[in-house]
Amino acid sequence: MPKPDVDPTVTLDLRVDRSSPVPLYFQLAQQLEAAIEHGSLTPGSLLGNEIELAARLGLSRPTVRQAIQSLVDKGLLVRRRGVGTQVVHSQVKRPLELSSLYDDLESAGQRPATNVLVNTVVPASAEVAAALGVAEETEVHRIERLRLAHGEPMAYLTNHLPSGLLDLDTAQLEATGLYRLMRTAGITLHSARQSIGARGATAAEAERLDEPEGAPLLTMQRTTYDDTGRAVEFGDHIYRPTRYSFEFQLLVRP
Amino acid sequence: MPKPDVDPTVTLDLRVDRSSPVPLYFQLAQQLEAAIEHGSLTPGSLLGNEIELAARLGLSRPTVRQAIQSLVDKGLLVRRRGVGTQVVHSQVKRPLELSSLYDDLESAGQRPATNVLVNTVVPASAEVAAALGVAEETEVHRIERLRLAHGEPMAYLTNHLPSGLLDLDTAQLEATGLYRLMRTAGITLHSARQSIGARGATAAEAERLDEPEGAPLLTMQRTTYDDTGRAVEFGDHIYRPTRYSFEFQLLVRP
DNA sequence: TCAATCCGTATGTCCGGACAATCGAACTAC
DNA sequence: GTAGTTCGATTGTCCGGACATACGGATTGA
């Protein structure tokens, strides 16, 4: 009795366009990712060896390897020496990104709304100054926003930004998210340090979020840096835990 | 008046050992990382161009690029075409890892202690079965642990594992963390899906954690997968938010 | 029957070179 | 003086090849 092919090697219809300005390895990576997403490449299936794949596409092996490596870094593929490259079994959708609440809600199909309650310039407190890396009492922007989904308050967002970085228009802040505004202004976000905790609501917080005093709240503090290392934003957010939780996927770095 | 050198190009004493089994690019990456950590490479300083660096080390450019790229992926370096590679200004320590509470506490200098309260085999509930990808009522391991730091309860950890994966010895569970046990058993952790939220403590939870009933708790649910895509662990944890919060650093993937 | 060994296969590492794209500064023209 | 242009420097992409290393199955031996 022949052994069943549990992990068949899949042959795909792959093509690259050499006249395109898009790098070849990137074109290949996109097609492979699409094939995985689409289901043409099923979990566990082998990808065929790199040499033959390169020959079939008319590419060199380093180029093919670069494409595969980018998907390995994303957690979609697993390489095994002497075995081959196969699609990861688990349902890895997307690794953790530096996400904004606005984008999260929008992609979840909720229509987020924002009320800008404060949009002003204040002298930096000690905590804000330390987070942003400026001197105490330096003037910084302060915005406070109430984020709603389906008309219900979901989070209260307090943010501080160095002045001069961005002109914060209240109308724009109500129409989109802060991160999107920063990116539009040409700021390249690079990394962020964040802390997630919980505590009971103060009277003022309870009022704003329509919760009883002392109700459990989910809290998040985040300092975001651009690629030059400047702190570009310090946020202090509180969330209603019945309406929101942090969900994300992690990859293990070997 | 001459313009001050704000971003000097640094020349380091780098060497590679070709007789070592450690890959050359990895040796170089380690030395560069050590130089950054140690302060020899200060934030903002340029790394010198790749060609010349390769020549100085007697390596090829692809090898040097591979070393640099690994540090770029870690968020320690930034490359700019036409400019060079420079050390990131901000204090990027380490990106987010799939960390275990035990390791976190240990590296923070706290001496964690664990009381194993339950270590048994039970039929899987609907929730556990869905998370682990097994049929309902399948036998699974269930462990409940109270984690203490400095003698104070810090978290209550409930975990379920597929049976047959690991023999869970209570003594070992009290001496080290679950992830370390799994790694020792040859399981390669690959990814995890987790959800962080908050809620009030039930009477039983409050008792276990020495908190008043209804006190805010930080909650985390996590399903961990190995590199074959199997779910290897499902955890449901509650933390005392006055004692613990999740702190981590994110990188933006462009 | 079972264990140790061999071997094919696939990825891992490394080389040296070539050209393209982009950034920043120096230079030129108005 | 200012704006546009040129040009050097540096990384980005891609090639073709070579050898090392590890995994898994087949073969061989006890």
Closest-CA residue in chain A for B218?
Answer: A198
H or E, element range at B131: helix B126-132
User: Of A112, A216, A212, which is closest to residue B197 (Cα–Cα)?
Assistant: A216
Q: Is the distance between the Cβ of B50 and the closest atom of strand D smaller than 7 Å?
A: yes
Give Cα separations from B161 to A202, B123, B237 (angstroms). 39, 11, 14
Most confident of A106-115, A159-168, B145-154: B145-154
Over residues A50-86, the pLDDT tens digits come to 999 999 999 999 999 999 999 998 888 999 888 899 8
C16 closest protein residue (CA to C1'): B60
Q: Which residues contact A32 (CB under 8 A, 6 or more apart)?
A: A12, A14, A41, A47, A67, A68, A71, A77
Could you give the CA distance from residue B163 to residue A19 in angstroms, rounded to a whole number? 54
Query: pTM to 2 decimals?
Result: 0.83
CB-CB under 8 Å, B231 with A90: yes
Could you give the CA distance from residue A141 to residue A126 in angstroms, rounded to a whole number? 15
Range in A103-117, A188-202, B44-58 the model is least confident about: A103-117
Query: Which of chain C's bases lie under 7 Å from a protein CB?
Result: 8-18, 21-24
Q: Report whether A136 contacts A126 (CB < 8 A).
A: yes
Tell me what pLDDT residue B5 has.
39
Tell me what pLDDT residue B240 has.
95
Tell me what pLDDT residue B127 has.
95
**Structure token pair of residue A154:** 């979901």
Which of the residues in chain B have pLDDT under 50?
Answer: 1-6
The stretch A14-29 carries a mean pLDDT of 90
Q: Which residues contact B144 (CB under 8 A, 6 or more apart)?
A: B116, B117, B118, B156, B157, B158, B159
Over residues B185-220, the pLDDT tens digits come to 878 888 888 899 999 999 999 999 999 999 999 999
**For B190, what's the count of Cα atoms within 13 Å in the CB-facing half-sphere?**
23
Cα–Cα–Cα angle for A37, A91, A99, nearest 5°? 85
- Pairing mode of beta strands A84-87, A189-200: unpaired
User: Of B69, B51, B70, which is closest to residue B61 (Cα–Cα)?
Assistant: B51
* Phi, psi for B230 (deg, rounded to 5): -65, 140
Question: How far, in Å, is the CA of A198 from the C1' of nucleotide D4?
Answer: 57
Tell me what pLDDT residue A11 has.
66
Q: Is the distance between the Cβ of B61 and the closest atom of strand C smaller than 7 Å?
A: yes
